[in-house]
A and B are shown apart, each in its own frame.
Chain A
Amino acid sequence: MEPSVETHNLTVIYDKKPAIWNIDFTLPTGKIIGIMGPNGSGKSTLLKAIMGIIEPNIGYSKVFDKELDDVRTRVSYVPQRQSVDWDFPASVWDVVAMGRFATKGLFKRLSKEDNDIITESLAKVNMTPFTNRQISQLSGGQQQRVFLARALAQNADLYLMDEPFVGVDAATEQAIINLLKSMRDAGKTLLVVHHDLHTAQDYFEHMVLLNSRLVAEGPTDEVFTQEILTETYGGTLTTLSKVASALKEKDFPMRHK
């Protein structure tokens, strides 16, 4: 089976310190995969680096065994809900329509078929009654569902989701996980940043455990162990963070020719 995402020594440096360091893994397709780790462990950074939103300083990543640019229409990214200003002058429909821009590009008009896809995506997240609603009037859970509908409208094969469960009510969380499962059943791959350990085991079949470095990656029943969790959440490695600080303070390059 072709891998969904693979990364090779992926390293992103913020302010001279590595935010993610030598991340190296190959993920399967057709699974709901959780990216877990404590605050500031580089979960979002990892997604952004895979999506090319942040240029990695060292290493590279591939999607479906190809360069991202060659398979971009097969990949959809769902940013954190709080990363945008919901007071923007747009309706629910307008936001979901953005999902079609992925194939339509900057200039092509949306066709009847595009409109049907948008309608369908809204129905899948139960937002049809809110189609013409101003986005500033939505609750947190509704905002998240609009973002998911936008991603659905892309008709992608791989979905990268940044914290889709943050700030949503329990009912919405359940609705979202059901949606993810039905997407998985349709053969899609879902890479989901999450931080609630209680639900992780139920939600994900495969996991990436991160703490700036890769702690573990594999099927949930293999990696979701007390030992690995302690290693992930039990604080940073003292020596590793000392080296990182030394890099920053003395302005050393991480790699040199």
Chain B
Amino acid sequence: MNFFTEIASFFTFSEPNVKVVFWGSLILCSISGLVGTFTLLRKRSLIGDVISHSVLPGIALAFIIGQQKNPLYLIIGATVTGWISTYLVDYITKHSKIKNDTAIALILSVFFGVGVLLLTHIQHSGNASQSGLDQFIFGRASAMNMSDVWLFTIVGSIITLLVVVFFRGLSLLSFDESYSQSIGFPNELLKLVLSITTVVTVAMGVQAVGVVLMSALLITPAACAKFWTNKIIPMAILAVVLSGVSGVLGSAISYTYNGMPTGPWIVVVISLFAFISAFIGSKHGLLKKYIQRAKNNTKILRENTIKLFFNPDTLGETTFQFEDIFEKSNMQRGTLKKGLKLLKSDDLITLDNGTYTTTEEGINEAKAIVRKHRLWELYISRFMHLQPDHVHDDAEGIEHVITPEIEKELEKELDFPTKDPHDSDIPY
């Protein structure tokens, strides 16, 4: 069986445990997408990392006290130490000279270290039921059972309800904390809601993705969503969908290839989404930037080429042989050919027997670009107090970005000048 049919067989739910894995990871990941939206918007991304590493000692302690892997105990243990860690980071930042990033590094490593220590201790204690506890480090969705899923469903519903009910307050708190306080919103309550939901989400989520990668699951979906929308509600919904989908796909892959940890696969899938979002995301996508840059380069080449046809004496028709223009330009041979092709396809020039001739339109375009160039030279020589021999290079670049509106403003501001700083005519 190839990769895809095997993954597809996961979704037929032919094995009873598959259903558990499916629902378990769907619920856990969706919730972390929702909660993570606010973690990201409040710029608390690193706190997610602190919490996820700090739940480990809680899980270990819960096991030592309860002597069994009861999911409820484990979540409570995880929540307690996760909570203490965020409290400590905030306390240290507020009450000592230690800066926030240092406090984060400090608390994260101390808690994680203690967690690993306790875990090692449990593994050597010979308690048979401890097997699988170390999977909290990288996550193992296939280790979940039906009672886990029920617990996630109930707790997840409460978290979702809290976030939805307090959505207005949480958004305002994330955008403008002082204003929220000034209109009498209960900031402390809102912060409490956020930190409870975050800690509990992480405490549950480590079952699927593990402590090391949990913060990726919290932050990445929201970061992806922000590439696609500029409104907070669609952003939250998209974050939930993206992280739910990656949760299910990631667990499907890890389940099919038994023995692979779930966390890394979920993170691989969501990172893939992040990569795609960064590349083609509607608002800030890299692809859009590349296209824009390519467009700009074409415009620059086109304008630089037509400029070569500008005839300063007659301001009219010009004819050239290729070699003549080539000498006049300081472009590569190939670039110039490309530029001429552009002009020809736009009917700015005609080619007849190796002779290039400007058309009426071409003459106007050439005048326009030279006009912009000289207007700009005049403008900066006057307002930047530059000597006439220092203005050319700047104008070479700026002439391409001057829009008709800016051109009008320049003319007005310079009082419709006729001569540039080099005493050449400004063609109208």
Residue of chain A at shortest CB distance from B170: A106
How far does the Cβ of A114 sit from chain B's closest Cβ, in whole Å?
Answer: 13
A85 touches B43 (CB 8 A): yes
**When the two chains form their complex, are residues A89 and B229 in contact, meaning their CB atoms are under 8 A apart?**
yes
A-B pairs, top 5 by smallest CB distance, nearest first, are A77-B182, A102-B183, A134-B230, A89-B232, A72-B184
Contact with A along B151-194 (1 / 0, CB 8 A): 00000000000000110110110111011011111100000000
B-side contacts of A95, CB under 8 Å: 175
Whether, in the assembled complex, A79 has its beta carbon less than 8 Å from a beta carbon of chain B, the answer is yes
Chain B 33-61, CB-CB to A under 8 Å as 1, else 0, gives 00000000101000000000000000000
Give me the interface of B with A, judged by CB distance under 8 Å: 41, 43, 165-166, 168-169, 171-172, 174-176, 178-179, 181-186, 226, 229-232, 235
Q: Which residue of the partner chain B has the closest CB to A95?
A: B175
**Across-interface contacts of A85 in B (CB, < 8 A):** 43, 175
B175 touches A88 (CB 8 A): yes
Chain A, range 91-131, C-beta contacts under 8 Å to B: 91, 94-95, 98, 101-102, 106-107
A101 CB contact (under 8 Å) in B165, B172, B181? B172
**Chain B nearest Cβ from A181, distance in angstroms:** 24
| A136 at interface by CB-CB < 8 Å | yes
Residues of A within 8 A of B166 (CB): 106
Contact among A72, A84, A107 for B183, CB-based, below 8 A: A72
Q: Is the CB of A88 within 8 A of B231?
A: no
- Asked if B174 contacts A88 (CB within 8 A), the reply is yes
Residue of A nearest to B187 (CB): A53
Shortest CB-to-CB span from A81 to chain B, Å, is 11
Contacts of A77 in B (CB 8 A): 178-179, 182-183
Q: Are A89 and B183 touching (Cβ within 8 A)?
A: no
Nearest Cβ distance between residue A79 and chain B, in whole angstroms? 5
Contact residues in B for A106 (Cβ distance below 8 Å):
166, 168-169, 185-186
Nearest-neighbor residue (CB-CB) of B234 within chain A: A89
- The answer to the question of A19 belonging to the interface, with a C-beta cut-off of 8 Å to chain B, is no
Knowing that A84-B176, A134-B230 touch, tell me 10 more A-B residue pairs with CB under 8 angstroms.
A51-B178, A77-B179, A85-B175, A88-B41, A88-B232, A89-B235, A106-B169, A107-B168, A136-B230, A150-B179
B189's nearest neighbour on chain A, judged by CB, is A106
**Contact residues in B for A134 (Cβ distance below 8 Å):** 230
* B229 / chain A contacts, CB cutoff of 8 Å: 89
Q: Which residues of B contact A107 (CB under 8 A)?
A: 165, 168
A107 to chain B, nearest CB (A): 7
| B residues near A187, Cβ cutoff 8 Å | none
B141 vs chain A, min Cβ distance (A): 31
Q: Are B174 and A48 in contact (CB under 8 A)?
A: no
**Residues of the A chain whose Cβ atoms lie less than 8 Å from the Cβ of B185:** 101, 106
A79 touches B41 (CB 8 A): no
Can you pick out 19 interface pairs between chain A and chain B where the beta carbons lie within 8 Å of each other?
A51-B181, A52-B182, A53-B178, A77-B179, A84-B175, A84-B176, A85-B175, A88-B41, A88-B232, A90-B175, A90-B232, A91-B230, A94-B231, A98-B175, A98-B176, A98-B179, A98-B183, A102-B183, A102-B184
Q: Is A69 close to B, CB under 8 A?
A: yes
